[in-house]
Amino acid sequence: IQQLEEKIDGPEGWGTLNTRHVLASAMLDQGCASEAKAELRDILSRREKIDGPDASVTHVSRYVFALAMLENGDPAGAQAVLDAVPDLSARLDWYPMRAARLAFVRGKVADALSRREEATVYLTEARRIYSEHLPEDHLYRRQLEDYITQRGGL
C-alpha cells in the first residue's frame, strides 16, 4: 500500500505520509517501538516541512512519536517532543479522539517521569473523553483502563 501511495502521491504526498503514519502506529501497537520511532521521526520531519509545525496532522505525528520515544525508554525525550504540542482543545480541527489520545500519552509520559499528580489529571481527561465518545469495549478505552489499573488507579 505504501509503495502504491508513493507512486500516486510521491514520497511526501498527504496519502503517502498518512499511510506511513498508520503503518508506524501499527508497528508501535505490535511492540516494534524502535522501528516505529525511526519511521515516525522521518514522518514528523516531513510533516513539519510540508504541512507546517502547527498543523493538526503534525501534532498527531508528534504525540505518536513521543509515545514511541517513551516505549523506547526515553521519557525525557518524549516530554521534549510533547512540549511542542500546545493546548489544542479550542481548535475546530482537533477531534475529541485526538484530544483523548494526546492526554493519554501525556499521562503516560508524566508517570514515567514520576509526576503522578500531573499524570492523573491527563488520564482523567482521557477517561472522560473516551467515556463520552466510545463504547466500553473499544480498544482505546480498554487500553486506558488497563493502564490505569496497572498504575494502581487514579
Q: Return the residue matching grid coordinates 504526498.
A: 13
List of residues 6+ apart from 120 with CB closer than 8 A: 107, 154
Interval 90-130: pLDDT, tens: 676 678 888 999 999 999 999 999 999 999 999 999 999 99
Q: Which residues of the chain have pLDDT under 70?
A: 1-11, 13, 90, 92-93
Query: What pTM was computed for the model?
Result: 0.86
Q: Among the residues of the chain, which ranges form H helices? A: 2-9, 14-29, 33-50, 56-71, 75-82, 96-112, 116-133, 139-150
Is the separation of the CB atoms in 140 and 100 below 8 Å?
yes
pLDDT at 86: 85
